[in-house]
Amino acid sequence: MALDIDNLTGPQKAAVLVLAIKEEHAATMFSRLDIDEVKELSQTMAQLGRIDSEITETVLTEFTGKLASSGGVLGSFDSTEKLLARVLDGGRVGQIMDEIRGPAGRTIWDKLANVNEGVLAAYLKNEYPQTVAVVLSRIDAAHAARVLSSLPEDFAVDVVLRMLRMDVVQKDIVADVEKTLRAEFMTNLARTSRRDNHEVMAEIFNYLDRATENRFIVSLEERSKEAADRIKALMFTFEDL
């Protein structure tokens, strides 16, 4: 059964954390546990199976966020970053620190680029037009166009006018927008928005040439006809034109 970040137990989170860090540091952590704790943690680790990278990142971010906010232990982002650098590679340290610092500039906009325009528009239509103008000015033009066309017309026109009048946006304003998006939109999206795996595969199959597509469908039908039928029903074919 696939792990669900919302339902992870404390021992499961601890197991993910131990598996994510370097072996020598994991060994040090084990040496500080009593025998019962070692047994429980070891059993949990053995039963986890494959762990999705998003779950690993979420657990690490939660862990380091707690460290950064607990003044009696570390008390600063710098000290947290130094601690992470001792147990993780530089790339992962940077990603995690971007998340727990809040406004990171790059990360949130990269994530928005992968959000369906209808989902993003449904959120933005309840925000101030000026906020929406900032968001659309920061994402890819093609994606911004799709989002804009999904907004109510009067609201969209107001956003366009504000974008036309927009001067250089101050860093603190961008930072506030990023913080809001991260805290309200992306967090809720991660909890509630999960694409059906069959839908994902149908979209991939649509990009295959016809011969390859048929070969995969035939092979899939032999193993799971139900899955093959669901994918075929979701696929956009020439007959749909």
Domain 107-192 has CATH 1.10.220.30: yes
pLDDT digits (tens, 9 = 90+) for 121-139: 988 999 999 999 999 988 8
Nearest to 231 by CA among 207, 205, 195, 193: 205
Matching CATH topology for 5-101 and 197-240?
A: no
Asked if residue 61 lies in contact with residue 85, where contact means CB atoms within 8 angstroms, the answer is no
At residue 88, φ and ψ (nearest 5 deg) are -130, 160
Say which residues have a Cβ less than 8 Å from residue 57's Cβ, sequence separation at least 6: 95, 96, 99
Q: Give the residue extent of every domain in the chain.
A: 5-101, 107-192, 197-240
- Asked if residue 75 has pLDDT above 80, the reply is no
pLDDT digits (tens, 9 = 90+) for 8-38: 888 888 888 878 876 777 777 777 777 777 7
- Highest mean pLDDT range out of 108-112, 153-157, 220-224? 153-157
Q: How far is it, in rounded angstroms, from Cα 10 to Cα 65?
A: 16
Q: Which helix (H) or strand (E) holds 201?
A: helix 197-205
Q: What is the CATH number of domain 197-240?
A: 1.20.5
Determine what percent of the chain is predicted with pLDDT higher than 70.
71
- Write the single-letter amino acid at 139: I
Q: How far is it, in rounded angstroms, from Cα 241 to Cα 239?
A: 5
Q: Residue 217 — very low, low, confident or very high, per pLDDT cuts 50/70/90?
A: confident
Q: Residue 190 — very low, low, confident or very high, per pLDDT cuts 50/70/90?
A: low
Architecture of the domain defined by 5-101: Orthogonal Bundle (1.10)
User: Residue 23: CA atoms inside 13 Å, Cβ hemisphere, count?
Assistant: 0
Rounded to two decimals, what is the model's pTM? Answer: 0.39
- Other beta carbons within 10 angstroms of residue 192's beta carbon come to 9
Size of the chain, expressed as the number of residues it contains: 241
- Other beta carbons within 10 angstroms of residue 108's beta carbon come to 23
Determine what percent of the chain is predicted with pLDDT higher than 90.
14
- Asked if residue 158 has pLDDT above 90, the reply is yes
**3-state secondary structure (DSSP) of residue 56:** helix
Query: CA separation (Å) from 199 to 4, 84, 136, 146, 202?
Result: 19, 37, 27, 20, 5
